[in-house]
Amino acid sequence: MSVLKIGIVEDELVIGRTILNTLNELGYDHCGPAISYTEAMEMLEHEKPDLLLLDIQLSGKKDGIDIAEKLNQLYRIPFIFLTANSDGDTIDRAKRVKPHAYIVKPFSREELYAAIEIAFSNFTGGRNAPGAKPQAIRPAKDFMFVRDGYVFKKIFFNDLLYLGSEANYVTLHLKSQKKVMVRSTLNDFVVQLDTQMFMRIHRSYSVNINLVDDVFPTEVAVGGVKIPIGKSYKDDLFKALGIKEV
């Protein structure tokens, strides 16, 4: 699993920080935010992002669509327009530079994640056609940062036993027996995890299958704690663990 480096062009600083926090939670690398055409060009030259999140309305004479035109001419990387404007004129201008996605503010973390993954997948699918130059792959991360109050805590995947959810909160249970509570739904949170390592086994639980100690007919034991297996998840779990019931 490669880690994408996402560049941000956004002149509203509060929104820019929100996007940075969301990218951190999703496990992406990032650079920016650039707040103008000039800063965006400097970021592209020096930081070399894999994909750009691009606000259409920027301060100054040149806007996000001008940046997109330069991207198409010089850098050939996918870009996603982020804008509060969904009027016909704006969309018509945007269509001419062929964005790889178009998201209207405000948007959710899940919407941003889906747009990034689909845009980059579609773009690299075209570039990996016969004769295309293969793209360099960055090594995958083995950690993530999660917000705990005013601090972002570093969590190594190998230290994360399982996740439990209740309402709009997810609790991360660590090997050290420490717990970190994150404001999120389990559906939203698991998209940033390595699917080869973490598996949903119940509507309220996801476990690190590398750290499962014992498997019972309706439960698994992880770090000395028994967690229920939902009926609809059992077959996939047993298949992932290589268990065949007689």
Residues 130-189 have pLDDT tens digits of 444 444 334 456 788 787 766 778 889 999 999 999 888 899 999 999 999 888 888 878
User: For the packed helices 109-127 and 13-26, what is the interaxial angle rounded to 10 degrees?
Assistant: 70
**pLDDT top residue among 125 and 171:** 171
Q: Please tell me the predicted confidence (pLDDT) of residue 141.
A: 66
Q: Which residue has the tokens 């299958």?
A: 209
Q: Which helix (H) or strand (E) holds 135?
A: none
Task: For residues 146 and 143, give the distance between their C-alpha atoms in angstroms, rounded to a whole number.
Answer: 10
Q: Average pLDDT of the chain?
A: 85
Mean pLDDT over 83-99 rounds to 81
Q: Please tell me the predicted confidence (pLDDT) of residue 86.
A: 64
Give the β-pairing of 219-222 and 143-148. Answer: unpaired
Tokens of 157: 């995947």
Task: For residues 179 and 102, give the distance between their C-alpha atoms in angstroms, rounded to a whole number.
Answer: 37
Give the β-pairing of 5-9 and 51-55. Answer: parallel
Q: Please tell me the predicted confidence (pLDDT) of residue 144.
A: 80
Q: Which helix (H) or strand (E) holds 47?
A: helix 37-47
Task: For residues 245 and 70, give the distance between their C-alpha atoms in angstroms, rounded to a whole number.
Answer: 58
**Reported confidence tier of residue 2, pLDDT bands at 50, 70, 90:** low
SS3 88: helix
Instruction: Answer whether 0.85 is exceeded by the pTM.
Output: no
Please say whether the beta carbons of 228 and 216 come within 8 A: no
Q: Please tell me the predicted confidence (pLDDT) of residue 127.
A: 47
**pLDDT top residue among 244 and 140:** 244
Return the ∠ at Cα 114 (arms to 210 and 122), rounded to 5°. Answer: 100
Q: What is the 3-state secondary structure (H, E, C) of 136-190?
A: CCCCCCCEEEEEECCEEEEEEHHHEEEEEEECCEEEEEECCCCEEEEECCHHHHH
Question: What domains sit in the chain, N to C, each tagged with a CATH number?
Answer: 5-127 (3.40.50.2300), 155-241 (2.40.50.1020)
Mean pLDDT over 11-35 rounds to 90
Strands (E), 38-159: 51-55, 79-83, 101-104, 143-148, 151-156
SS3 77: coil
